[in-house]
């Protein structure tokens, strides 16, 4: 019976990592859609988003089944309850990637020639955060998870830089107002993804240590 | 069943059986002696009764009756004369002459017999004696039979059995342990055998043990070998089982794939690269395949093949290679081919264009000469280009040792400056050559080519009326050639690329200044073949200094 339970827990672990891989893909394609103005990439994100939603439901059902049948305690209970929380954050990341892709579809028709550096930096940074959060979960690495929590500040800082860029863009050329707003939305979504990555990292820390305070927030 | 239990059981069984047998045998022995005692007592009683009778003092033998002895006097006809027992008269009136003890007494003077009583537990013993008057005096006594003896014994025997059983339980456990212990000890130390019967076993065990030890040692060594081999491979190596779990991996795989350093877990925990996982999936379905990945700035090629054991697939193997350099070389080759074709095509297009114009009479007679001059120029460029390409392709072959000879750098530098004087004068550039004699080992024509190309560049990309300084210095075991100009310089972002084939800083100027774009590439190749190092120091609009340091040949001075 317990052996079967262990197998189930490993399966849950793998499912979570798989979902992590899916959100990483979604983000990568969304960022590609933005930087390369590629509608194909944006469409890919929609497909992945459907998979992510399905995965969330599957994992949720699986977790409830585990709780009901196995009455987990201690570490196992923490893993399962954090899993339930993490999938919500992951699903939100999926949604936001798809929102970014949606905006990209609209603005790809226009040319946004101006400097995208801060937005791409943000994309790079939050992509790394998500990857590291998932890696921290895989390797059960508290230190790595804590570093993810810390790098959220970098994303926030970049966001305010993007804000300044957009204000400058509008004051220089008021006809670029629409695109500036769209780009600001993209940046905001990226910032939100960063926050969700931080949440995931915090849940990773909780599932390992059982302590919420370690994340330094 | 455990040996221990079996031995304990047997011991207990043997104990109980022996107690029972002893009890039974002892009963019989006791009974036998008891009977004998009774008989001899009866004989004494009989004799005593006879004495009484002779003294006519017998009355009714009441004295005997008190002691439980029955005395019967029987006349010649077998009728009972006197009986002191309380038996019925009917029994007393029976004729006693057929009784065995009476018959025996009449024959031999005395006789005895025994008869079971009405109840099984008692036996009557009889002793008869023939008296002088022909009467027979018989005494009898009842005594316990062997069965009653046994019956009396039985509770005692049961108690003893229980008692012994309890003691046996304690001692048999100890005894069993005593028997078993040497066997157990044998497991630890096969050479120390207590029981002779077990020596063959211990020998076999010992031999097997040695064999197993050797086998394990071999296996360990093999494993160690494989581990070392895999760990030190520059290619990444990952082994998967059918459930996509990572069974084995090496450091390179982790590094190349930027994977997590985990083992014995599902592939998803190791790497989340979608293409990689798909490739492994395919391999697990039995199809070997290869994929190209781009991880950060590295080009990675992954070969995934199924693993078969006894014709049954039981996993997949992934080999991961860093093909960044290979791809780069491939790109360079492709670029070179494209460049060569382009560079060859440009002069040819001009040549054929001018030639066509002349052919169709489109050129005025006075223009023909100009066109011919241009055709000549372009043809010259083509020749220079082709000879440079040929040189480069020759330089791809490594220089043979016997091609090398002692070369004095200063002589060559002077020769070059002489030969380039005309070119330099055209642009009013002063070429100076100074320094000390430095002999190196090398191919003279190649070294000349190197110095010539450097000087040629220094003049070509100089300002009008500029300076070119060639100097040769000796420093420790090195001969240092420096070509310094006061030319246009090279912008920093181009500095690390100017030694590439056909690379030009300013592509629009190439036509004006001439040159093939291969000069510095040739310099680089020649320097490489002579184990010389090149360094570049250039400031935009101030000039360029290129330093080539060769190894001095001290063995043989000219």
| CATH code (residue B64) | 3.30.450.20
Distances (CA, A) of B520 to A197, B319, B452, B511, B535: 51, 39, 11, 17, 12
The domain boundary, picked from B291, B322, B353, lies at: B322
Sheet strands side by side (includes B543-551): B430-435, B467-475, B478-485, B543-551, B533-539
**Nearest chain B CA: its distance from A21 CA (Å):** 6
* pLDDT band at B86; cut points 50, 70, 90: low
The residue extents of the domains of chain A are 2-215
**Nearest chain B CA: its distance from A135 CA (Å):** 7
CB contact under 8 A, A135 and B260: yes
What is the per-residue pLDDT for A87? 93
- CB-based contact A97:A31 (threshold 8 Å): no
A28-81 per-position pLDDT tens digit: 999 888 888 888 889 999 999 999 999 999 999 999 999 998 888 888 899 899
CB contact under 8 A, A14 and B261: no
Kindly calculate the radius of gyration of chain B based on its CA atoms and give it in whole angstroms: 65
CB contact under 8 A, A21 and B272: yes
CB contact under 8 A, B269 and A20: no
Same domain, B35 and B134: yes
Sequence-distant (≥ 6) Cβ neighbours of residue A129 within 8 angstroms: A148, A151, A152, A155, A194, A197, A198, A201
Of B260, B266, B277, the CB nearest to A139: B260
The Cα–Cα gap between A70 and A64 comes to 10
Q: Which of B554, B543, B424 is nearest to B478 (CA)?
A: B554
**B267, B268, B275, B278: best mutation site toward chain A, by most A Cβ within 10 Å?**
B268
- CB-based contact B395:B521 (threshold 8 Å): no
> Please, what is the angle between helix A142-172 and helix A117-139, to 10°?
170
Q: Is residue B174 part of a domain?
A: no
What is the per-residue pLDDT for B214? 96
- Say which residue the tokens 């014994």 belong to: B153
CB contact under 8 A, A24 and B272: yes
Write out the two tokens for B65.
């009756």
Beta-sheet strands, E only, within B29-135 = 70-74, 80-83, 110-116, 122-130
Q: Is residue B176 part of a domain?
A: no
What is the per-residue pLDDT for B259? 87
Q: Is the pLDDT of residue B70 over 70?
A: yes
Q: Which of A167, A195, A171 is nearest to A183 (CA)?
A: A167
Q: Is the pLDDT of residue B268 over 70?
A: yes
Residues of B with CB under 8 A from a CB of A: 260-262, 265-266, 268-269, 272, 274, 277
B438-456 per-position pLDDT tens digit: 888 888 888 888 888 888 8
**Nearest chain B CA: its distance from A150 CA (Å):** 21
The domain boundary, picked from B169, B204, B229, lies at: B229
Same domain, B341 and B450: no
Chain A with chain B: Cβ pairs closer than 8 A: 27
What is the per-residue pLDDT for B444? 85
Q: Is the pLDDT of residue B508 over 50?
A: yes
**Nearest chain A CA: its distance from B251 CA (Å):** 16
Torsion of CA A172, A178, A183, A187, to 10 degrees: 100
HEC string of B445-472 equals: HHHHHHHHHHHHHHHHCCCCCCEEEEEE
B274 contacts in chain A (CB < 8 Å): 21, 25
Q: Is residue B186 part of a domain?
A: no
Q: Report the range out of B30-34, B164-168, B218-222, B426-430 with the highest average pLDDT.
A: B218-222
Which residue range is the domain that position B75 belongs to?
3-151
Q: What is the bridge-based pairing of β-strands B312-322 and B236-240?
A: antiparallel
Q: What are phi and psi of A113, to 5 degrees?
A: -75, -20
Question: Hey, is the C-beta of A139 within 8 angstroms of any chain B C-beta?
Answer: yes
Beta-sheet strands, E only, within B393-499 = 405-408, 430-435, 439-442, 467-475, 478-485
**Nearest chain B CA: its distance from A127 CA (Å):** 13
> Please, what is the angle between helix A177-209 and helix A74-107, to 10°?
170
CB contact under 8 A, B260 and A10: no
Q: Which of B333, B303, B304, B177 is nearest to B244 (CA)?
A: B304
Kindly calculate the radius of gyration of chain A based on its CA atoms and give it in whole angstroms: 19
SS3 call for B259: coil
SS3 call for B145: coil
* pLDDT band at B558; cut points 50, 70, 90: very low
Same domain, B248 and B134: no
Can you tell me the mean pLDDT for A132-157? Answer: 90
Mean pLDDT for chain B overall: 83
Of A20, A25, A138, the CB nearest to B262: A138
The Cα–Cα gap between B6 and B175 comes to 12
Same domain, B270 and B139: no
Can you tell me the mean pLDDT for B358-378? Answer: 85
Can you tell me the mean pLDDT for A170-175? Answer: 85
Distances (CA, A) of B88 to B71, B113, B123: 15, 22, 19
Can you tell me the mean pLDDT for B391-395? Answer: 81
What is the per-residue pLDDT for B60? 62
Distances (CA, A) of A185 to A38, B100, B347: 18, 137, 55
Same domain, B219 and B249: no
What is the per-residue pLDDT for B129? 83
- CB-based contact B240:B302 (threshold 8 Å): no
Can you tell me the mean pLDDT for B188-198? Answer: 77
B269 contacts in chain A (CB < 8 Å): 13-14, 17, 138
Return left, alpha or beta for B466; rule: phi > 0 is left, psi -120 to 50 is alpha, else beta: beta
Same domain, B202 and B220: yes
The Cα–Cα gap between A190 and A171 comes to 24
Question: Hey, is the C-beta of A128 within 8 angstroms of any chain B C-beta?
Answer: no
SS3 call for B540: coil
Check which CATH number belongs to the domain holding B363 and give it: 1.10.287.130
What is the per-residue pLDDT for B395? 79
**Nearest chain A CA: its distance from B246 CA (Å):** 13
Q: What are phi and psi of B182, to 5 degrees?
A: -60, -35
Sequence-distant (≥ 6) Cβ neighbours of residue B227 within 8 angstroms: none
What is the per-residue pLDDT for B156? 80
Question: Hey, is the C-beta of A17 within 8 angstroms of any chain B C-beta?
Answer: yes
Q: Is residue B558 part of a domain?
A: no
A17 contacts in chain B (CB < 8 Å): 266, 268-269, 272
More confident residue, B278 or B394: B278
What is the per-residue pLDDT for A93? 94
The CB-side HSE value for A62 (13 A sphere, CA atoms) comes to: 22
* pLDDT band at B93; cut points 50, 70, 90: low
The domain boundary, picked from B229, B253, B280, lies at: B229
Same domain, B252 and B359: no
A21 contacts in chain B (CB < 8 Å): 268, 272, 274, 277
What is the per-residue pLDDT for B557? 47
Sequence-distant (≥ 6) Cβ neighbours of residue B287 within 8 angstroms: B306
CB contact under 8 A, A17 and B261: no
The Cα–Cα gap between B200 and B184 comes to 16
- CB-based contact A47:A54 (threshold 8 Å): no
Angle at B98 between CA B97 and CA B99, to 5 degrees: 95
**A6, A21, A138: best mutation site toward chain B, by most B Cβ within 10 Å?**
A138
Q: In the 8-state DSSP scheme, what is residue B398? A: P
Q: What is the largest CA-CA distance in chain B?
A: 204
Task: Quote the percentage of chain B above a pLDDT of 90.
Answer: 11
> Please, what is the angle between helix A2-36 and helix A74-107, to 10°?
20
What is the per-residue pLDDT for A45? 93
Distances (CA, A) of B86 to B73, B126, B135: 14, 17, 21
**Cβ neighbours, 10 Å, residue B9:** 13
Number of domains forming the structure of chain B: 5
* pLDDT band at B41; cut points 50, 70, 90: confident
CB contact under 8 A, A17 and B266: yes
Task: Quote the percentage of chain A above a pLDDT of 70.
Answer: 95
SS3 call for B531: coil
**Nearest chain B CA: its distance from A191 CA (Å):** 23
Q: Which of B420, B423, B347 is nearest to B380 (CA)?
A: B347
According to DSSP H, which parts of B189-323 are helical? 199-231, 251-257, 267-270, 274-284
Q: Is the pLDDT of residue B81 over 90?
A: no
Q: What is the largest CA-CA distance in chain A?
A: 69
- CATH code of the domain occupying A2-215: 1.20.58.220
Question: Hey, is the C-beta of A134 within 8 angstroms of any chain B C-beta?
Answer: yes
* pLDDT band at B92; cut points 50, 70, 90: low
Min mean pLDDT across A47-56, B15-24, B349-358 is at: B15-24
What is the per-residue pLDDT for B273? 86
Distances (CA, A) of B128 to B99, B104, B137, B315: 10, 8, 6, 107
CB contact under 8 A, A21 and B274: yes
Q: Which of B8, B3, B122, B133 is nearest to B70 (CA)?
A: B122
Check which CATH number belongs to the domain holding B512 and give it: 3.30.565.10
Sequence-distant (≥ 6) Cβ neighbours of residue A217 within 8 angstroms: A149, A198, A202
Same domain, B465 and B520: yes
- CB-based contact B452:B384 (threshold 8 Å): no
Question: Hey, is the C-beta of A51 within 8 angstroms of any chain B C-beta?
Answer: no
Q: Which of B490, B495, B486 is nearest to B543 (CA)?
A: B486
CB contact under 8 A, A138 and B260: yes
Q: Is residue B190 part of a domain?
A: no
More confident residue, B534 or B500: B534
B277 contacts in chain A (CB < 8 Å): 21
Same domain, B221 and B237: no
B266 contacts in chain A (CB < 8 Å): 10, 14, 17
Q: Is residue B128 part of a domain?
A: yes
Same domain, B220 and B305: no
**B272, B274, B278: best mutation site toward chain A, by most A Cβ within 10 Å?**
B272
Same domain, B19 and B132: yes
Same domain, B446 and B537: yes
What is the per-residue pLDDT for A60? 94
């Amino acid at each position: 019976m317990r052996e079967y339970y262990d197998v189930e827990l490993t399966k849950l672990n793998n499912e979570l990592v798989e979902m992590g891989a899916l959100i990483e893909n979604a983000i990568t394609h969304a960022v590609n859609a933005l930087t390369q103005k590629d509608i194909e990439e944006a469409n890919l994100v929609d497909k992945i988003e459907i998979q992510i939603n399905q995965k969330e439901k599957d994992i949720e059902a699986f977790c409830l089944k585990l709780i009901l049948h196995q009455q987990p305690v201690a570490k196992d209970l923490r893993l399962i309850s954090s899993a339930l929380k993490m999938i919500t954050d992951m699903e939100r990341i999926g949604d936001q990637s798809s929102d970014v892709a949606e905006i990209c579809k609209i603005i790809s028709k226009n040319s946004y020639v101006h400097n995208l550096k801060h937005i791409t930096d943000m994309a790079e940074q939050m992509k790394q955060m998500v990857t590291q959060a998932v890696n921290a979960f895989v390797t059960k690495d508290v230190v790595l998870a804590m570093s993810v929590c810390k790098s959220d500040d970098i994303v926030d800082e970049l966001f305010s830089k993007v804000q300044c860029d957009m204000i400058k863009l509008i004051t220089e050329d008021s006809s670029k107002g629409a695109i500036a707003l769209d780009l600001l939305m993209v940046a905001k979504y990226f910032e939100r993804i960063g926050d969700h990555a931080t949440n995931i990292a915090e849940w990773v820390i909780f599932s390992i240590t059982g302590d919420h305070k370690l994340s330094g927030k | 069943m455990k040996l221990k239990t079996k031995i304990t059981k047997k011991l207990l069984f043997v104990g109980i059986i022996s107690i029972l047998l002893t009890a039974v045998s002892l009963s019989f022995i006791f009974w036998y002696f008891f009977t004998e005692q009774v008989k001899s007592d009866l004989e004494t009683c009989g004799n005593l009764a006879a004495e009484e009778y002779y003294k006519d003092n017998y009355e009714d033998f009441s004295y005997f009756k008190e002691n439980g002895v029955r005395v019967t006097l029987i006349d010649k006809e077998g009728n009972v004369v006197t009986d002191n027992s309380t038996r019925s008269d009917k029994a007393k009136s029976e004729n006693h002459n057929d009784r065995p003890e009476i018959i025996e007494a009449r024959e031999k003077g005395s006789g005895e017999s025994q008869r079971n009583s009405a109840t099984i537990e008692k036996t009557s013993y009889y002793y008869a004696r023939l008296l002088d008057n022909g009467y027979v005096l018989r005494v009898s006594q009842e005594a316990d039979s062997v069965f009653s003896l046994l019956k009396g014994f039985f509770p005692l025997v049961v108690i003893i059995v229980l008692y012994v059983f309890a003691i046996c339980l304690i001692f048999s456990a100890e005894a069993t342990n005593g028997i078993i212990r040497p066997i157990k000890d044998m497991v630890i130390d096969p050479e120390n055998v207590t029981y002779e019967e077990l020596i063959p076993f211990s020998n076999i065990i010992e031999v097997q043990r040695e064999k197993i030890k050797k086998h394990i040692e071999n296996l360990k060594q093999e494993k160690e070998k494989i581990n070392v081999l895999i760990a030190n491979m520059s290619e990444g190596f990952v082994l998967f089982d059918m459930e996509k779990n990572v069974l084995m991996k090496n450091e390179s795989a982790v590094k190349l794939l930027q994977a997590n350093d985990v083992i014995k877990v599902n592939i998803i925990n190791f790497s989340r690269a979608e293409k990689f996982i798909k490739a492994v999936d395919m391999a697990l379905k039995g199809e070997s395949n290869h994929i190209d990945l781009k991880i950060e700035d590295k080009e990675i090629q992954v070969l995934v093949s199924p693993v078969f054991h006894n014709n049954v697939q039981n996993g997949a193997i992934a080999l991961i290679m860093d093909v960044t350099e290979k791809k780069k070389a491939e790109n360079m080759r492709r670029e070179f081919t494209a460049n060569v074709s382009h560079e060859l095509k440009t002069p040819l297009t001009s040549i054929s264009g001018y030639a066509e114009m002349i052919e169709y009479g489109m050129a005025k007679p006075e223009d023909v000469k100009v066109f011919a001059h241009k055709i000549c120029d372009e043809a010259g460029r083509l020749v220079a280009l082709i000879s440079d390409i040929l040189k480069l392709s020759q330089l791809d072959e490594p220089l043979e040792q016997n091609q090398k000879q002692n070369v004095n750098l200063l002589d060559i530098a002077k020769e070059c400056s002489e030969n380039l004087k005309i070119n330099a004068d055209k642009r009013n550039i002063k070429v100076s050559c100074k320094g000390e004699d430095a002999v190196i080992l090398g191919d003279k024509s190649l070294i000349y080519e190197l110095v010539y190309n450097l000087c040629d560049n220094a003049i070509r990309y100089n300002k009008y009326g500029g300076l070119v300084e060639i100097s040769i210095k000796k420093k420790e075991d090195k001969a240092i050639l420096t070509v310094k100009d006061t030319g246009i310089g090279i912008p920093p972002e181009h500095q690390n690329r100017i030694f590439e084939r056909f690379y030009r800083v300013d592509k629009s100027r190439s036509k004006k200044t001439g040159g093939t774009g291969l000069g510095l590439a040739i310099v680089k190749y020649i320097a490489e073949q002579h184990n010389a190092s090149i360094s570049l120091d250039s400031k935009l609009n101030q000039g360029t200094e290129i330093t080539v340091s060769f190894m001095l040949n001290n063995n043989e001075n000219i």
